[in-house]
Structure 1
Amino acid sequence: MSGLLSLVRPDLRDFAGYKSARSEALRGDVWLNANESAWANPADGEGRSRRYPDPQPPALRARLAELYGVAPAALLVGRGSDEAIDLLVRALCVPGQDAVVVTPPVFGMYAVCARLQGAALVEVPLVDDAAGFSADLEAIQDAALTRRAKLVFLCSPSNPAGAAIPLDEIASLARALEGKALVVVDEAYGEFADGPSATTLLPMQSNIAVLRTLSKAHALAAARIGVVIGDEELIAVLQRCQAPYPVPTPCADLALAGLSDAALAQTRDRVALVRSERSRLAEALVRAPGVRRVYASQGNYVLARFDDAERAFRALLAIGVVVRDQRAAPQLGDALRITVGSPAQNDRVIAALDAREQAA
């Protein structure tokens, strides 16, 4: 057994999963093996939705693999990053025995999935200093080893803090945890970051997995297309644990069209605009009265602290601008997270915050 497979729950290492009607490589022109309707729904003009979809649509999987620079067998397509997180926790963590390490303040689904699986949650808070929020990799390593964690989730760029983790630090952590834990790098906002993806570490370190999504930079949040990228043995295990038909045909078709060369070119232009607007918004927030601190960000959002966060939140809401209230999150009792919008939308945010002080 490989060192990586030893991290999988013992009862799932040989688990075959559910064999759906679409998992068999059969050929024919009359399909009567899945109890599907012989007729299309009246609303389904092309009749494509009456058939169950391929569990892993080949064209989409190949295009995503090309996009992320990996082999198709090293990538599993699912219902957003959320499903990938859930699959990883369920496949690796024995309920009541194994632990998951997270770095608050951070995306909440890691903790949710751990709780649903009965896995212990080990929190190693981000360190907030003059340079901004950063992950304490040494403390993360110690916590993972001490608590015998199976999974370590690193959000890079971090949501909501905005900082990315250097790849050499991720690689060092993975080496220290080899045979003991899987290091999962969540790159939901990777397109907006400066450095290369952690997928470049996979050839050297098999106990790293990377999460990517089409929800953010690719503007396909409603399609719910995300992937987990990793060692092919791990991907095979996760696929056996996945629901039979995770990717609806309309969503797969939309995603494939959204990854055409023309669409990708427009996405790259929009990412460049967001990065430029991110800098403009951050600079304007630094100058705005009542803003205590603005954190450098490599995502499509800016985290800021306010003298009166409630007042700022309400001032924005009064003009129809909804931002994320972070005050319930650890270390963020005075903070709001503002997504970088279009130039006109960002102008409204800046004007509203300035007007809030003038009205006072």
Structure 2
Amino acid sequence: MNTMLNGRVLDLVREDLRGFAGYKSARSETLRGDIWLNANESAWANPADAQASCRRYPDPQPQALRERLAQLYGCTVDQLLIGRGSDEAIDLLVRALCVPGRDAVVVTPPVFGMYAVCARLQDARIAELPLVDSETGFVADLQAIGEAAIAGRAKLVFLCSPSNPAGSVIALADIALLAKRLEGRALVVVDEAYGEFSDNVSATTLLASHANIAVLRTLSKAHALAAARIGSLVADAELIDVLRRCQAPYPVPTPCAELALAGLSDAALEQTRQRVELIRSERSRLQAALAALPEVLRVYPSQGNYLLARFRDAEAAFRSLLTAGVVVRDQRAAPQLDNALRITIGSPEQNDRVIAALRALEMAA
């Protein structure tokens, strides 16, 4: 069964890329020696490079980091690809699977914009299935998504869970049903950039029975390493191998890999866990405080590290927060969100400033 599933996943890859060898860099060779003269590198370190770690090209997929990330995400090493944030993995998937002008990508607005950006750059058709604004929050209509994917000959279906900016999640059972329905037709990509803040179990647990599921993870959010640009794609090993051959030669700078590995030590992971719990607690507190303000029309339940809120006067709320030195994400240009702002959950002190700024708006009204 697994062999059949793997074959179907590879069938989703563009025909011209299935046997693509890609660029073979100097560091992809398994040669050994103590004098490296194969990559035209400098024999001396830059004066600013105190550790002398940057004069050599990096390992394209740093093994120690790859092993640590695989352990963190509950997958095997050959199921994981490290890239420059989740953005690179999204771009690789669209370029490797979608034939320009022919294949489609399904997205669920309002949602993270890079799925549609990468599709446009590849000249892949974009099928939009908007989230449904319900009493329980924004929800994905997976029945309609499946129908649109089949009718539109989509190669990729992007599901963001927790959704950015809506904060809603999709049950694993529903993801599994969609993947089963689209088996042999499309890859279901679950973006779990905010997964650490969620009650949901990761969709990586579905990979063993659904080879057409792929999962995006990142160290940018809960692990506080946004500037290091370390993202991961967890997927079928054969698909990962194809994507690796389509990837740029040196995607992971050595200083970033070293920082990420240090940031995934047992001690660092324990501190991250504690901070995630604090964010979850503060999320509940801020949600209650915002919901009590007359100027706030609605605060959506969220399983991310942010809250989406609708305001009577979103412009006034945005300006009041700016006056207090607080910058939030203006969502008014996004579909269905003409009066909404997205507020990241900060430290308790930062959240207090948000509440105070919005209370000041109420007093001025």
Range class of TM-score, shorter chain: over 0.9
- Residue matched to 1:265: 270
How big is the shift at 1:355? 1.1
Q: Does 1:235 pair with 2:240?
A: yes
Q: Distance in 2 between matches of 1:99 and 1:195?
A: 28
How big is the shift at 1:131? 1.1
Q: Distance in 2 between matches of 1:173 and 1:333?
A: 30
Residues 160-213 of structure 1: CA deviation (Å, up to 9, x unaligned): 000000000000000000000000000000000001000000000000000000
User: Which of 201, 209, 217 matches 1:204?
Assistant: 209
- Residue matched to 1:305: 310
Could you tell me whether the CA contact under 8 Å between 1:65 and 1:71 is conserved in 2? yes
- Residue matched to 1:295: 300
Residues 106-162 of structure 1: CA deviation (Å, up to 9, x unaligned): 000000000000000000000001111000000000000000000000000000000
Q: Does 1:3 pair with 2:8?
A: yes
- Residue matched to 1:329: 334
Q: Distance in 2 between matches of 1:124 and 1:105?
A: 10
Give matches, 1:19-58, under 5 Å: 19-58=24-63
- Residue matched to 1:99: 104
Q: Secondary structure at the match of 1:320?
A: coil
Could you tell me whether the CA contact under 8 Å between 1:289 and 1:354 is conserved in 2? no
Over the residues paired in the alignment, what is the CA RMSD in angstroms?
Answer: 0.6
- Residue matched to 1:174: 179
Q: Distance in 2 between matches of 1:196 and 1:119?
A: 31
Residues 59-99 of structure 1: CA deviation (Å, up to 9, x unaligned): 00000000011101000000000000000000000000000
- Residue matched to 2:352: 347
Structure 1 ranges of 4+ moved more than 3 A:
none
Q: Does 1:120 pair with 2:125?
A: yes
How big is the shift at 1:248? 0.1
Q: Does 1:154 pair with 2:159?
A: yes
Residues 255-285 of structure 1: CA deviation (Å, up to 9, x unaligned): 0000000000000000000000000000000
Q: Does 1:61 pair with 2:57?
A: no
- Residue matched to 1:145: 150
Q: In the alignment, residue 234 of structure 1 is paired with which amino acid?
A: L
Q: Distance in 2 between matches of 1:80 and 1:254?
A: 14
- Residue matched to 2:115: 110
Q: Distance in 2 between matches of 1:354 and 1:238?
A: 50
Q: Secondary structure at the match of 2:157?
A: strand
Q: Does 1:359 pair with 2:364?
A: yes
Q: Distance in 2 between matches of 1:109 and 1:49?
A: 30
Q: Distance in 2 between matches of 1:112 and 1:303?
A: 23
- Residue matched to 1:282: 287
- Residue matched to 2:219: 214
Q: In the alignment, residue 44 of structure 1 is paired with which amino acid?
A: D
TM-score by length of structure 1 reads: 1.00
Which blocks of at least 5 consecutive residues in structure 2 are unaligned? 1-5
Q: Secondary structure at the match of 1:76?
A: strand
Q: Distance in 1 between matches of 2:137 and 2:60?
A: 42
Q: Secondary structure at the match of 1:48?
A: coil
Q: Distance in 2 between matches of 1:112 and 1:198?
A: 24
- Residue matched to 1:184: 189
Q: Percent identity of the aligned residues? A: 76
Q: Secondary structure at the match of 1:49?
A: coil
Q: In the alignment, residue 114 of structure 1 is paired with which amino acid?
A: A
Could you tell me whether the CA contact under 8 Å between 1:78 and 1:226 is conserved in 2? yes
How big is the shift at 1:45? 1.1
Q: Distance in 1 between matches of 2:319 and 2:267?
A: 40
Q: Secondary structure at the match of 2:8?
A: coil
Q: Distance in 2 between matches of 1:151 and 1:132?
A: 25
Could you tell me whether the CA contact under 8 Å between 1:183 and 1:209 is conserved in 2? yes
TM-score by length of structure 2 reads: 0.98
